[in-house]
Amino acid sequence: MSPEARLMDGSALARTLVEQAARRAADLTERTGTAPCLATVLVGDDPASVTYVRMKRNRCAKAGILSRHVALPAATTTAELVGTITALSNDPEVHGILLQHPAGPHIDERAAFEAIAPEKDVDGVTCHSFAAMSFGLDGFASCTPGGILRLLDHYDVDLAGKHAVVVGRSAILGKPVGMLLLGRDATVTYCHSRTTDLASLTREADVLIAAVGRPRFLGGEHIKPGAVVIDAGSNPGNVGDVDFEAARTRASLITPVPGGVGPMTIATLLTQTVDAAAAQLNAV
Ligand code: NAP
């Protein structure tokens, strides 16, 4: 049996990053008289989304970042949502905007995301941010992918020339994390629901990113011995997309769920909100 994988402690790294963001927020507030402000927009009352937004706002408060919450009824139309987000984009007191995903099946979420001004897109969800990420230009990273890269860097995972396999291709997670890995000179393979013989591809991965949304979907048979395994999945019951017990005897490094990718997402959001405020207040 292989030795057990080392854990990648996202909670600890996130704490450090949030402390840094809090120090920078306090310094910015003192120098400019204005505290960074994140607007959170929630459509409807899906319990998981309500919890995520509450968690993000609580973290903001602890870090000295103001948050302005806009709760809209589930029946909100795309036009109304776009109008609300456009108003926040034009409001100089708001430095960052987060639209909680999913906004609801009747909403054109892409249209709503695109109403976020690029300089306030601290969640990294607009086409502008995706293009900047893909071209390696300055801009805000999609938060979960950005958090994953910070975690890989913290654990000194060398990505150049490595084969990274991303299982999942969503706009907020799979696609952008692949782009960030490509930007670090990894050779990237994307897998999705139409991929045939998934295990033969994932077993080639030096770095395996699970972004599927299915509990314990990837087992030991999917993992190359010695691989770095990042489990971005967050399924009911605090279960990831990777069968942790099976994976930890094969991987060299692995993220736990909870305590891996999740806290890094919020830490990246807070860091990018302070970055946005500093740029808008001309106090970089
Ligand atoms: P999503 O939009 O539902 O995308 C899931 C992806 O998985 C799709 O690309 C889908 O392929 C692929 N997939 C589904 N079944 C598959 C199969 N049998 N084989 C291979 N690929 C398959 O989900 P998401 O928003 O990216 O989220 C994925 C997971 O990450 C969820 O558990 C979510 O809760 C979690 N998440 C966590 C955080 C965090 O902060 N920790 C943030 C965001 C998301 P198709 O494109 O072909 O449909």
Ligand 1 pocket, residue 168 CB under 6 Å: yes
Q: Which atom of ligand 1 is nearest to the CA of 147?
A: 40
Asked if residue 189 lies in contact with residue 196, where contact means CB atoms within 8 angstroms, the answer is no
Closest residue by Cα to atom 24, ligand 1, is 170
Ligand 1 pocket, residue 148 CB under 6 Å: no
According to CATH, the superfamily of the domain at 33-117 is Leucine Dehydrogenase, chain A, domain 1 (3.40.50.10860)
Per-residue pLDDT of the chain (284 residues; tens, 9 = 90+): 458 999 999 999 999 999 999 999 999 999 999 999 999 999 999 999 999 999 999 999 999 999 999 999 999 999 999 999 999 999 999 999 999 999 999 999 999 999 999 999 999 999 999 999 999 999 999 999 999 999 999 999 999 999 999 999 999 999 999 999 999 999 999 999 999 999 999 999 999 999 999 999 999 999 999 999 999 999 999 999 999 999 999 999 999 999 999 999 999 999 999 999 999 999 98
- Maximum CA pair distance of the chain? 59
102: cis peptide before it, omega within 30°? Answer: yes
Ligand 1 pocket, residue 143 CB under 6 Å: no
Strands (E), the chain: 6-7, 37-43, 66-72, 96-99, 163-167, 187-191, 207-210, 228-231, 253-254
| 143-262 shares the fold of 33-117 | yes
Mutation probe of ligand 1 site: the residue of 212, 216, 234 with most atoms within 8 A of C-beta: 212
Ligand 1 pocket, residue 213 CB under 6 Å: yes
Using alpha carbons, select from 165, 85, 179 the residue that is nearest to residue 132: 179
Distance 170 CA to ligand 1 centre (A): 6
* pTM of the complete model: 0.97
Going from N- to C-terminal start, the domains of the chain cover 33-117, 143-262
CATH architecture assignment, domain 143-262: 3-Layer(aba) Sandwich (3.40)
Using the Cα atoms of residue 183, residue 274, residue 25 and residue 18 in order, give the sign of their dihedral: negative
Residues serving a catalytic function are 56, 100, 123
